[in-house]
Amino acid sequence: MDVMPKWADVILVPVISLLLAMAISALVILLIGEDPVAALKMMVQGALGSSYGWGYTLYYATNFIFTGLAVAVAYHASMFNIGGEGQATLGGLGVAIVCLAVPWPHWALALPAAMIGGALFGAAWAAIPAWLQARRGSHIVITTIMFNFIGAALLNYVLVNVMRPEGSMDPATANFPPATHLPTLHELLAPIGINFSKSAPANVSFLIALVACVAVWLLLWRTRFGFEIRAFGRSESGAVYAGISPFKIIMGAMLISGALAGLMAINNVMGEAERLVMNSVEGAGFIGIAVALMGRSHPLGVLIAAILFGFLYQGGAELALWTSIPRDLIVVIQGLVILFTGALDNMVRMPIERVFLALRRRRTEG
């Protein structure tokens, strides 16, 4: 029997965690002599107050949805995939190769091919740690985090020595041809009369991310393989007894996870930069862990948490741009939110559970 009603579990606990994180952030801002109310206003205004702000918030959120879903799928198989960063890096390489190698006539053709490229490269980068876990028992946390560094080194080598245009100082690929440029939300919404900001980077990948949320939900809760993943994640011995192959589940879950992380590249590489730069992922792979934790590994939760983190990123950027609050403090604020919603979840959850238990006892007694 559940201790708490569902709404308390899904809404009340995260909201209280968030409020606690905001309260401590406000204290920190007060300590360095700035006005926390003005800071919050600026964050909200900067991230959600205009279609420009929304464009950035949704752009960041799109990255976090993909990496968050990646972590969530693996998590259901009780695999902790910390390699989203490296898988997304390699996904970027896959997308770049697809966009540069073929003279695409139209983005609508280039996008599916780029998705396949990104997903394949991401999945391939997850496959080695997955195989090592499934066959050799090498812990997935250790191997995936190591593969992040190998991925960064590989990309560094490829960009400096192979894909850099002649004479360019910048370690990056050539610009993708204009036909592969994805339409931004501005171009998508203009025909239906909504004037969305032109300069914001949010693009059609956001819709792909929403589709990915639905697809992951269908996979986990409406297919046999999803059921096997969840059964395996709850109890490995139980799953084996039921005839589920651990090798198949570990490989399958990790390949899907890596493919989702690799798909992120259609947003940051193809949609925003329109070329592959060295530092394209920028920690989104790690933010994905926080997003999945906060979203309780449910696609809807991941979506909402990703938008929250998009808000924190964009709002934080506005703070850094327009106030004297140093950028390190913005990292502190983001860290506090992760700490409270992810790591210190039980600190809030247990007292609330106790309150609900007491309420119920009184009801049954009375």
Q: By CB under 8 A, name the binding residues for another protein.
A: 11, 14-15, 18, 40-42, 44-46, 48-49, 56, 59-60, 149, 152-153, 155-157, 160, 164, 166-172, 175, 199, 201, 268, 272-273, 275, 277-280, 282, 304-305, 307-308, 311, 313, 316-317, 320-322, 327, 330
Q: Minimum distance between the CB of residue 309 and another protein, rounded to whole angstroms?
A: 12
Ramachandran bin of 297, using left for φ above 0, alpha for ψ from -120 to 50, beta for the remaining angles: left
Ramachandran bin of 117, using left for φ above 0, alpha for ψ from -120 to 50, beta for the remaining angles: alpha
Choice between 118 and 316, CB closer to another protein: 316
Which residue's structure tokens are 């792909």?
Answer: 208
184 forms bridges with which residues in the sheet? Answer: 203
SS3 category, 136:
helix
Choice between 6 and 136, CB closer to another protein: 6
Choice between 164 and 230, CB closer to another protein: 164
Choice between 14 and 252, CB closer to another protein: 14
Q: Minimum distance between the CB of residue 124 and another protein, rounded to whole angstroms?
A: 19
Q: Minimum distance between the CB of residue 119 and another protein, rounded to whole angstroms?
A: 22
Q: Minimum distance between the CB of residue 48 and another protein, rounded to whole angstroms?
A: 5
Q: Minimum distance between the CB of residue 144 and another protein, rounded to whole angstroms?
A: 16
Q: Minimum distance between the CB of residue 278 and another protein, rounded to whole angstroms?
A: 8
Instruction: Determine whether 77 is exposed, middle or buried from the number of CB atoms within 10 Å of its CB (0-12, 13-18, 19+).
Output: buried
Q: In whole angstroms, what is the distance from residue 40 CA to residue 43 CA?
A: 5
Choice between 90 and 253, CB closer to another protein: 90
Choice between 13 and 134, CB closer to another protein: 13
Ramachandran bin of 33, using left for φ above 0, alpha for ψ from -120 to 50, beta for the remaining angles: left
SS3 category, 102:
coil
Choice between 72 and 259, CB closer to another protein: 72
Which residue's structure tokens are 């990496």?
Answer: 67
DSSP string, 170-234: SSBPPPPPGGGPPPBHHHHHGGGT----SS---BTHHHHHHHHHHHHHHHHHHSHHHHHHHHHHH
* N- to C-terminal Cα separation, the chain: 20
Q: Minimum distance between the CB of residue 279 and another protein, rounded to whole angstroms?
A: 5
